[in-house]
Amino acid sequence: MKQVVALLVGSGRFELAYMQWRSSLEVGHDQIDREHRSLVEALNRLHAAMKMGKGKEEIGQILVFLKDYTESHFKTEEAMMLKHGYPAAPGHLAAHADLVQQVSALVTDYHAGKALLTGAVFDFLEGWLVKHIMSEDKALGDFMKSKA
């Protein structure tokens, strides 16, 4: 069943979250799935803050949280790959490194006033997350299940 998440925005209004979590995104590993849900929540918080017209400082803080959480989540997956000798680790790590670089550049540019959080930025982040979860992370989830 599709879960509909509403976020409380300014003046008591409820608005649909930017990105809905869906069971098709589950990779079947508890910790990975939990962290993916937190990433989706962080993306939704960022989107809600932008829509509410929050200030640069508050939005900047959520953006940094999203970046830090992404990095710590990638470390979780990378530690699993190393521990279990995951054969597809090189490609997976390269995908992580690419996103970390792009998000870091976004944070730097945002703080320097050189980047705006536009719809295209959110579409990119959501698109990357969905594509990565559905391919590399699902493959890792299957591998971890085979090790359980």
Q: Which is nearer to Fe ion, 89 or 117 (CB)?
A: 89
Give the nearest distance from C-beta 116 to Fe ion in angstroms: 27
For the record, the structure tokens of 61 come out as 């803080």
Phi/psi for 54 (5° steps) reads -65, 160
CA–CA separation, 52 vs 62, rounded Å? Answer: 13
Give the nearest distance from C-beta 49 to Fe ion in angstroms: 23
Give the nearest distance from C-beta 99 to Fe ion in angstroms: 9
Strands, E assignment, the chain: 6-9, 13-16
Q: Which is nearer to Fe ion, 20 or 135 (CB)?
A: 135
CA–CA separation, 38 vs 147, rounded Å? Answer: 25
Q: Which is nearer to Fe ion, 63 or 140 (CB)?
A: 140
* Beta bridge mates, 8: 14
Return residues touching Fe ion (CB under 5 A).
Answer: 77, 137
Give the nearest distance from C-beta 47 to Fe ion in angstroms: 19
For the record, the structure tokens of 35 come out as 């962290």
Q: Which is nearer to Fe ion, 50 or 86 (CB)?
A: 86
| Closest chain position to Fe ion (CB) | 137
Q: Which is nearer to Fe ion, 21 or 137 (CB)?
A: 137
Query: CA dist 35 to 55, 69, 86, Å?
Result: 27, 9, 20
Segment (H or E) for 14: strand 13-16
Give the nearest distance from C-beta 109 to Fe ion in angstroms: 24
